[in-house]
Amino acid sequence: MKVAVCDDQDIFLKAVYNEVKSLSYLEISLFDDSTKLAEEIKNGEYYDLFILDIEMPNLDGMELAKVIKEHIKNPVIIFLTSYTDYVYNAFEVEAFRFIPKENMKDKILSTIEEYVNELSQDKDFYEMSNVKKDKILLSDIMYIDYRAKYISYHMKNGEVKRERKHLHTFMDNVKSEDFIFINKGTIVNMKNTKYVEGYNLMMKNMQSLPISINTIKKVKNQLLEYWNNQNE
């Protein structure tokens, strides 16, 4: 899950990071300038969750939230501020939560986990069976492969997570139409595919994965149908 944290005070920015970095499923980006984050959003960058200070120079948190809402559908925003008078304005931009800065250490982790639990109920997340019970955002999975009784989740950020499980068990658990087999030992997330060239499937990270001869026709049909539906 990609998270953007924005606060013009470097000390508080690092304090938020130190609190949330324990959640292994978060990919955290820090911004000490709200205009830089706004520019990224305007240029097509996407984040699943925003943690924003309200009182910032040039572009305050409320104005930044409006920019985010213009470019990202249903963004999830958590506001942090020292001024409780802003809480009513936070509701106007449909913030997920409003946390006073003095309560940040007590509230930020539980607030993020509350959001993740809501997503889990919507089956956007997959909970691994490892010791940490890591939660993976399904859309962040590029592909999954199986070797020596373990499956490896290859994530958008380059991270690889492993657990002892079979690919068919994963498919039975998630029941998502976004995932398909391209060969006996590999599942891809069609959201993160780019094109087919010969017997290879190019992913959005420009990694090429082999498609088996026996499944090439079926895989092409599944991908074409998926891509067409995305463009409707």
Tokens of 218: 């079926």
Domains of the chain are 2-121 (3.40.50.2300), 128-231 (2.40.50.1020)
Query: What is the pLDDT, as a whole number, of residue 32?
Result: 96
Confirm if 154 and 160 have CB atoms less than 8 A apart.
Answer: yes
Q: Is 207 helix (H, G, I), strand (E, B) or coil?
A: coil
- Which phi and psi (to 5°) does residue 50 adopt? -120, 130
Q: Cα 222 to chain center, whole Å?
A: 24
pTM exceeding the 0.85 threshold for the entire prediction: no
Confirm if 151 and 165 have CB atoms less than 8 A apart.
Answer: yes
Helical (H) or strand (E) element with 172: helix 167-174
Confirm if 99 and 111 have CB atoms less than 8 A apart.
Answer: yes
What is the spatial distance between Cα 33 and Cα 25, in angstroms, rounded to a whole number? 25
Determine how many CB atoms are found less than 10 A away from the CB of residue 4: 24
Query: What is the pLDDT, as a whole number, of residue 57?
Result: 92
Query: Which residues fall within 8 angstroms of residue 79, CB to CB, at 6 or more apart?
Result: 52, 53, 54, 61, 65, 86, 90, 95, 97, 98, 99
What is the spatial distance between Cα 195 and Cα 223, in angstroms, rounded to a whole number? 9
Confirm if 153 and 139 have CB atoms less than 8 A apart.
Answer: no
User: Helix 10-20 to helix 104-121 angle, to the nearest 10 degrees?
Assistant: 50
Query: What is the pLDDT, as a whole number, of residue 125?
Result: 77
Query: What is the pLDDT, as a whole number, of residue 120?
Result: 60
The 8-class DSSP code of residue 157 comes to T
Per-residue pLDDT of the chain in tens (232 residues, 90 and over written 9): 889 999 999 999 999 999 999 888 788 999 999 999 999 999 988 888 999 998 899 899 989 999 998 988 778 899 887 765 555 555 555 677 888 888 899 999 999 988 877 766 655 778 887 756 677 888 889 999 999 999 999 998 888 999 999 999 999 988 888 999 999 999 999 999 999 999 999 999 899 999 999 999 999 999 999 988 876 5
